[in-house]
Structure 1
Amino acid sequence: MFATVTYGDNQSFLINLRCGSRNVFEYVNDKLAEEDWEDDTFVELCDEDGQLKYLSYQSPMRMLSDYVKPRSTLIPIKIERDENDSYKPFKPMLKADFKPRFRDRLQRQRDKMEKLRLEREQSELRQERRLESVKEEEKPKEKRSTEGTPAVKRQASGTSRPASKGNFKRS
């Protein structure tokens, strides 16, 4: 079971759908990556309708045959980020006139990935703030004079009841 990856000026190569996602992801990226690409630039594959296959997000050993139809044509999409780590618009690596529906679908998926990235970033910031506040609480506090307080009297007497002030009636 194979699928065809079409790129450039109608150049193509086959990929085996009985391979794990990670192997195919690395193979496609090695084959299509250009030398001047940034480290966080990579290639994803989409079908002819513009639906990304998210190879980089699949379980490494999941077979492509689980989510790619045999004999289908896949189009590589260049995914890169800007200096703020935001996703730039996705670029098909096939020189062709794509239908507006194809481009719209890619744009919606980019928007969704960007939204998830921002949510993850905000979650990480909240987690960092929580850790910082826990560290602040763990710092040694100034010792205050606590003599004469009910808690100290309780500890001194060894009882677990509040210290009596003598102004209540027992029943």
Structure 2
Amino acid sequence: MYITIKYGDNIQKVVNPNCGAKSLLEFIRKQCSCNETDILDLVDETGVLKKLNEQPDTDNVKTILQSKAIYIPVLVLKGESEENKEFVPLLKEIEELYPGLLEKLQSFKKKSGGRKSRLEPSHTPHKKSNVNVNTAGKGTKGGRKK
């Protein structure tokens, strides 16, 4: 079993998901040069948030992720409440590669319940993120490297 992680300037990494959620997210954090304090998660090509950051590390992610699927890492920015989380994809030119997915991520909120959740429209406006992704897939905040 393997999955593909797409990030940065359409960099693709084939990954073995036979591990705990924390281990996989730590690997992705290093690949994307994110801070240890950044909250990461994965979204599939259809907009299903995998909520790996909420899974215990004892749970093997191969039971959550689909074999041979493509996943995009997202930075989770906490809002004023649980429903106001903002998701920033760590893949450049995401709109060209996956039309409509960025719009879902920016104007949708997390649906409660279940391990998998499709994003649903939010009734509260989100502030614009100041996190950018450079060509190496490295997140920057406010124009500075993290």
Q: Unaligned regions of 5+ residues in structure 2, if any?
A: 114-146
In the alignment, which residue of structure 2 is the partner of 1:68? Answer: 65
1:20 aligns with 2:17: no
Q: What's the secondary structure of 2:74's corresponding residue?
A: strand
Where do 4+ consecutive residues of structure 1 move more than 3 Å? 84-88, 105-113
Give me the identity figure in percent: 24
Q: What is the aligned residue count?
A: 109
In the alignment, which residue of structure 2 is the partner of 1:100? Answer: 100
Cα 1:106/1:44, change in 2 over 3 Å: farther
Return the structure number with greater helix share. 1
Spell out the pairing of 1:68-147 with structure 2 (5 A cutoff): 68-81=65-78, 89-95=86-92, 96-97=94-95, 98-100=98-100, 103-104=103-104, 107-110=107-110
Contact 1:49 1:102 (8 Å CA) reproduced: no
Relative to the length of structure 2, the TM-score reads: 0.61
Q: Name which one, 1 or 2, has greater alpha-carbon Rg.
A: 1
Q: What's the secondary structure of 2:71's corresponding residue?
A: strand
How far the C-alpha of 1:49 sits from its partner, in A, is 0.8
In the alignment, which residue of structure 1 is the partner of 2:9? Answer: 9
In the alignment, which residue of structure 1 is the partner of 2:45? Answer: 48
- Which residue identity is paired with 1:55? L
Return the structure number with greater strand share. 2
Q: Unaligned regions of 5+ residues in structure 1, if any?
A: 114-171
How far the C-alpha of 1:54 sits from its partner, in A, is 1.0
How far the C-alpha of 1:42 sits from its partner, in A, is 2.1
CA displacement, residues 17-55 of structure 1 (integer Å, 9 cap, x when unaligned): 211112112211222134xx583x222111101111111
Q: Distance in 2 between matches of 1:76 and 1:101?
A: 13
Relative to the length of structure 1, the TM-score reads: 0.53
